[in-house]
Structure 1
Amino acid sequence: MMKIKLFTFLFAIALTNISCKNNIKISSIDVVSKNKKPNIVVIYLDDLGYGDLSSYGATELETPNIDKLANGGIKFTNGYASSATCTPSRYALLTGVYPWKNKDAKILPGDAPLLLDTNIQTLPKALSKAGYQTAIIGKWHLGLGTGQVNWNETIKPGPNEVGFDEAYIMAATQDRVPTVYIENGNVVNLDKNDPIQVNYKSNFEGEPTAISNPEMQTMLWHHGHNNSMVNGVPRIGYMAGGTAAKWSDIDMADHFLDKAKTYVKHHKEKPFFLYYAMQQPHVPRTPHPRFEGKSGMGPRGDVILEADWCIGEFMKTLEEEGVLENTLIIFSSDNGPVLNDGYYDDAVEKLGNHKPSGGLRGGKYSLFDAGTRVPFITYWKGQIQPKTSDALVCQIDLLESLSSLVGVNTTATDSQNILNAFLGISNEGREHLILEANSKTALRSGDWIMIPPNKGVPLNIKVNIETGISSEYQLFNLKKDRGQQHNLAKENPEKLKEMIQIFESLKK
């Protein structure tokens, strides 16, 4: 009891010493003994929209377990992923670097080489310096190896080479081959007599595809997903072999949950960092039979309920293992929502009155706000006081902010120390943020968003989402026009000029 009181006292001193300015680090947290540093868990969903949670206004879905985090912690109304697609956002979260600075930081195929330089500064590396055990469980999608991957040998470099002590992942996404789990560089349950082959350009002789054998499909493809089939689900890319290693789609959520719970049980004696990267509600949406039909909104609604249940079970484990009160949890999503993203799964037909974007404009792939503004919650039982915050925060800032929390110096340039905002001490986050969608960028500054002219189409027909692309400047005041319906670029030339100057300065 005395140790707990001492930690609380020292933590309070540390927070008192934090300046409201972004560039001031915690000065006293490093006096806390290593075994009292908080565990850190990042729970990261995939394609979850701003309006997909009942705590964020959803009326057709109930997400009680995530709501407990939101209602017991800081619920951010201006929380952002860096990008409107998955790979770039994950790159920014782990490196603290704007993904538009790296020309290769785009949606990767499943056989892409490792996107991160092994010498780059990363969040798990920073926390390792403070004595943390680090792990990723779930979706990776940042590439593996250095060239053509041999899936039948240990695959390096990967998560282990950029700071994670333990890694239990899928290489890319659930809709891409290879459809296998990889543990610390090795394919799980691989039979060397049935070697895995992967190719994203041409099929292997005799292997069925959704085109050649449509009768084998249990899920129909709409666009892009018509190559190799696994469990009756057509995927992106071609794969042969590895039969014993292939995952069961309907069991994936339970599988990753079990790994996350086991990790906590094995590492509760020292501080740990767990990046729990869940696959829901990305396509293909394959809820376990326990959740099938439960939402009434088709598989997309079902897997959101499944994810909420998984998070509730994970939270129970933290409590049962006695570490909940010493665990900082960050919950968010890699980008905004999309309904039809390649399969006919009733996501559009059964949507009803549900609004995945929560009234924001756009969605996944879009420069409009719904592409990058996502649910964002920080929760630390007994340390963070519940409230709703309008502070402008971004996942790119986790590197600098969490490094500051544990007393580690970084060389971050894009990541900012907004720990005050993450802990609810201040309502001030960052001033400016450059957002990205498909390598095109926009500026969020205060209540304003400016989207510069770009070449391209205004509507992504395949997914029926506005891209935010226009041949003219677009300027919106989000405080007055949350749905971005009134372009003020011509009405307010002075503000537009100011935003352009800030944007160009930051881009340099």
Structure 2
Amino acid sequence: MKQSFFIKRTASILLLVTISSMVSFGQSNTKPNIIFILADDLGYGDLSVYGGKVQTPNIDRLAHNGILFTNGHSSAATCTPSRYSLVTGEYAWRKQGTGIARGNASLIIDPERTTIADIFHKAGYTNAVIGKWHLGLGPEEGPDWNRDVKPGPLELGFDYSFIIPATGDRVPCVFVENHRVANLDTKDPITVSYDEPIPDEPTYENNPELIKVQSSHGHNQAIVNGIGRIGYMKGGQSALWDDKNIAAVLAAKASAFLETNMSTPFFLYFATHDIHVPRTPHTKFLGKSGLGVRGDAILQLDWTVGQITKTLDHLGLAQKTLIIFSSDNGPVLDDGYVDEAVEKLGDHQPAGALRGNKYSVFEGGTRVPLIISWPGVTAPRTESDALVGQIDFFSSFASLVDQQLVEGDAPDSENVIEAFLGQSKTGRTELVKQAGALAIIKGDWKFIESARTANSNRQKELGRSTEPQLYNLKNDIGETTNLATENPEIVESLGNLLDSIKVSSHASQTNNFN
């Protein structure tokens, strides 16, 4: 990455920033607005500020005004468990049913438990989630798309929600606003099935003449907007989204929320759908990146971030707002559609120098872009190698807004707010990551437990082995040399530590490593 991009700060300047920020926040008792922008399938090397080939000036500007983290992690290498950990502060492998959720999955978070939104609500914030949800909706039997779709985000501490229920490649292809499918005509009810086809409805396999985007694997069931999806769907024609306009719709909803709540502290969890498949960027971005539609989708993501920051500037809220930008997991190229993501990659490296990608227990699966900007508090153009995880935002935000956690809240989240604000170079001591097998990072070392099987599929290097793996990340960030045989004492120590975390009192249910 571009190490020369950042200006090195002296200890005295950092101390001055720390003191001034503590005074401005603590004595005035003002509460910063919080915007968490979570990209989808964006890799460690995808942004220009991390050395990527696609120019992302709006996201880069956040780094210009804040801190770029080189050792920031999602807790899992796929979306549902990663997002579960973010919202609950609990490792997803502790709870069954947190694998990649179907589009008609029931809500996987118990409404009785405290969420990150609840913490902000207790502190007097107005909360919204806009964008990709993928944590299930509705009761145990699943959602009824033609009536109130609940429980959901509103039962988890959010005051407003406008969400994609799961992902763009899964049905139903509709937005849900608060408790209702947006723009649904009750005379054209929605039927969703993930078990068997719906009679007389076209499918990818039976009606190839309707397909505009070819599938490379899977995505061969319902056809919506000429694109094959996972799952079957009927009805709801007036509510179907237009894939190429998803980013613009989400950006407009986010800006409207900011304008409506500009006079009160707010928490906005803004989860974009870029760069997830199907990649259908708006025509104004097509062909602009030179890297095919995946690169064009990165341009669209950067535009989306620019819409948020422009709204803040227009409303005079930029100085009062802490922005976090990150990704739910690492990158993937061919993820089910023929879109030339591989063929047009060129010398762009989506995961940078990291090994692995989405689905992988290697660093490319979970070490993700992480930028934090709070003008006047975070020192501009700084870089941090503190070990931090998205799972830590729960406890850290609670500390920031002066909320006490009680027993059972955010059991795996650590308060590293000083690291997040650049006031300390030290983050958490160790971090567990999930991708079929579990891995633990402590200091310079990373231990990957042995898995039942070792395999890769569809160009995805999963990183699993039937033998334990040990890497020194300081000297070998690309995880090229397994040092387990030469360091049995470190393997034993980290293996024992991982086992103790697995069986700790935090674990409320049977472990689930999928």
TM-score, normalized by the shorter chain, greater than 0.5 = yes
The within-5 A match list for 1:180-191 is 180-191=174-185
Q: How far is the alpha carbon of 1:15 from its aligned partner?
A: 3.5
Within the candidate set 499, 508, 512, 1:504 is matched to 499
Task: Give, in whole Å, the separation in 1 of the partners of 2:198 and 2:77.
Answer: 33
Q: Secondary structure, in 3 states, of the residue corresponding to 1:198? A: strand
Aligned to 2:424: 426
Q: Secondary structure at the match of 1:420?
A: helix
Secondary structure at 2:270's aligned position in 1? Answer: strand
Aligned partner (choices 223, 228, 239) of residue 229 of structure 1: 223
Which residue of the partner structure matches residue 408 of structure 1? 403
The answer as to 2:484 corresponding to 1:486 is: no
CA shift for structure 1 position 183: 0.4
Matches for 1:144-183 after TM superposition, within 5 Å: 144-146=137-139, 147-183=141-177
**What is aligned with 2:3?**
none
Question: In the aligned structure 2, how far is the partner of 1:452 from the partner of 1:204?
Answer: 42
Give the distance between the partners of 2:39 and 2:440, measured in 1 at CA.
24
Q: Is the 8 A contact 2:38 2:327 kept in 1?
A: yes
Structure 1 equivalent of residue 511 of structure 2:
none
Unaligned runs of 5+ in 1: 1-8, 17-27
Q: Tell me how far 1:297 sits from its aligned partner.
A: 1.0
Please tell me whether residue 393 in structure 1 is matched to residue 388 in structure 2.
Answer: yes
**Displacement of 1:208 after TM fit?**
0.6
Q: Tell me the amino acid that sits aligned with residue 197 of structure 1.
A: T
User: Runs in 1 of length 4+ with deviation above 2 angstroms?
Assistant: 9-16, 28-33
Change (3 A) 1:30 1:72: closer
2:341 corresponding residue in structure 1: 347
Give the AA of the match of 1:441. L
SS state at 2:388 partner: strand
| Shift in Å, 1:314 | 1.2
* 2:445 corresponds to: 448
Matched, 1:252 2:250: no
> 1:11-410 residue pairs with structure 2 within 5 A?
12=19, 15=22, 32-33=28-29, 36-58=30-52, 60-146=53-139, 147-386=141-380, 387-410=382-405
Secondary structure, counterpart of 1:70 in structure 2: helix
Cα displacement string for residues 384-407 of structure 1 (whole angstroms, at most 9, x for unaligned residues):
102100000000000000010000
> Hey, what's the Cα distance between the residues in 1 that align with 2:363 and 2:96?
23
C-alpha spacing 1:262/1:90, structure 2 compared with 1 (3 Å) = same
CA distance in 2 between partners of 1:410 and 1:163 (Å): 15
Please, what TM-score do these two structures have when normalized by structure 1?
A: 0.93
CA offsets, 1:144-183, max 9 Å, x none? Answer: 0011321110111000000100000010000000000110
- What displacement does 1:497 show? 1.8
**Secondary structure in 1 matching 2:386:** strand
1:10–1:32 CA contact under 8 A, matched in 2: no
What is the rounded CA distance, in whole Å, between the counterparts of 1:263 and 1:14 in structure 2? 27
Report the CA distance between 1:199 and its aligned residue. 0.4
Q: Describe the superposition over 1:276-317 as per-residue Cα deviations: whole angstroms up to 9, x where unpaired.
A: 000000000000000011111111100000100111121011
The Cα offsets for residues 231-266 of structure 1, whole Å up to 9 and x where unpaired, read as 101100000000000000000000000000111000
* Native 8 Å contact 1:114 1:145 kept in 2: yes
Q: Distance in 2 between matches of 1:428 and 1:407?
A: 21
3-state SS of 2:478 partner:
coil
CA contact (8 A) 2:175 2:239 kept: yes
Q: Which amino acid aligns with 2:326?
A: S
Q: What do the CA deviations read for 1:466-503 (whole angstroms, capped 9, x no partner)?
A: 11111111000011001000100011122222211221
Contact 2:18 2:377 in 1 (8 A): no
**Counterpart residue identity of residue 481, structure 1:** D
**Residue in structure 2 matching 1:469, options 464, 468, 484:** 464
1:206 Cα deviation (Å)? 1.3
Q: What is the rounded CA distance, in whole Å, between the counterparts of 1:394 and 1:385 in structure 2? A: 20
Amino acid in the other structure paired with 1:234: G
- CA contact 2:454–2:466 (8 Å) conserved in 1: no
Aligned with residue 415 of structure 2, among 405, 411, 417: 417
- Contact 1:110/1:173 (CA < 8 Å) preserved in 2? yes
TM-superposed CA distance for 1:12, in Å, is: 4.2
**In 1, Cα distance between the equivalents of 2:469 and 2:208?**
44
Contact 1:253/1:310 (<8 A) preserved = yes
Kept after mapping to 1: 8 A contact 2:48/2:60:
yes
Q: Deviations over 1:326-370 (max 9, x none)?
A: 001111000000000000000001000000010101100011111
- Give CA-to-partner distance per residue, 1:387-445, whole Å, 9 cap, x none: 1000000000000000100000113321000000000000100010010013x211111
8 Å Cα contact 2:17/2:377 also seen in 1: no
1:43 touches 1:277 (CA, 8 Å); kept in 2? yes
Structure 2 CA distance, aligned partners of 1:13 and 1:281?
A: 38
Q: Helix, strand or coil: the match of 1:212?
A: coil
Superposition RMSD in Å = 1.5
Does the 8 Å contact 1:30/1:407 carry over to 2?
no
* Matched-pair contact (CA < 8 Å) for 2:326–2:371: yes
Aligned length: 483
Give the conservation status (yes or no) of the 8 Å contact 1:73–1:378: yes
